[in-house]
Structure 1
């Protein structure tokens, strides 16, 4: 099960079945789902979202630590505004990918950067040497967030998810160079 991570404005916690309606507002939105890797159609309804959450929760229990999936809540109102992952990248699972998805109404407030930094710092503190983020070449918003986290572009590949992706990496030394504000 994923560890709970708390930042200044956010709580990243394990998903729950009762999150289905709020999660549907995220994963049912084509503006969100179009950027996901692997590709995912928008979730159609609350029942389908419950099934997705059940699948994610079951997968979370089988993942090797520190991999996991999180719901992202704002601390001030406990509103679920997104989801985040730290998962092995296919095809062999030797690289760990972090990612996040937010409600469109939550875009532009720095939540993705805050969540991404929390996951990165935690994962590297838990012993990972490096973590990756992958983004479609036309996802300028996602790439900007990745760069704000301090990740370094390392190239373009079709190795992951059978699609052309930009690859970014973050190592513990990169975080240390950013200073103590994390």
Structure 2
């Protein structure tokens, strides 16, 4: 199957999802600074302040399926949501990924953005999506449940702070 075509935009009642741009790198780096301390160290800002905004800007092209999540009413970019292809997974079974700034939590934006991305995956003829989530991340587990994902019982990673669980959704 051909790689999934990235849309110019996905629109919901309150959000616009579109390809990320380098001028938003500071927002994506801010996500790194806001991450829970239970997130593994390689996904948080290190003692040298890395990744920097420039580092983050340089990595944006590596994940073209992740889309900026922008609020319609303010045009503010509040995070990302999209699909990631993995070399060890079938090309038509991407991973759903999302992360929003803390100021955007608790408003249903992650679920709304996720619904748009699940629709994009369905229209792209993906038979299944998967996502991983830390067992302690109750909010993200709830979002995935609302999106129709179910936990498989498979643990894909362990740390001193918890287990990363595999969830799937048939389309």
TM-score over 0.5 for the alignment? yes
Offset at 1:29? 1.6
Partner residue, 1:93: 89
Distance 1:120 1:15, change over 3 A: same
Partner residue, 1:54: 58
Offset at 1:56? 2.2
Match among 97, 116, 134 for residue 136 of structure 1: 134
| 1:4-19 equivalent positions in 2, closer than 5 A | 4-19=9-24
Match among 44, 61, 67 for residue 41 of structure 1: 44
Partner residue, 1:165: 164
> C-alpha distance in 2, partners of 1:23/1:70?
11
Kept in 1, the 8 Å contact 2:17–2:68? The answer is: yes
Distance 1:148 1:9, change over 3 A: same
* Counterpart check, 1:69 vs 2:73: no
Partner residue, 1:24: 29
- What is the aligned length? 158
> C-alpha distance in 1, partners of 2:81/2:45?
17
Partner residue, 1:115: 113
Consecutive unaligned residues of structure 1, counting only runs of 5 or more, are: 61-67, 173-182
List 4+ stretches of structure 1 deviating above 4 A.
Answer: 33-36
Consecutive unaligned residues of structure 2, counting only runs of 5 or more, are: none
> C-alpha distance in 2, partners of 1:7/1:50?
31
SS at structure 1 position matched to 2:106: coil
Distance 1:42 1:84, change over 3 A: farther
TM-score normalised by length of structure 2 = 0.80
> C-alpha distance in 2, partners of 1:34/1:42?
13
The structure with the greater share of residues assigned to strand is 2
SS at structure 2 position matched to 1:19: helix
> C-alpha distance in 2, partners of 1:139/1:89?
23
> C-alpha distance in 2, partners of 1:152/1:93?
18
TM-score normalised by length of structure 1 = 0.76
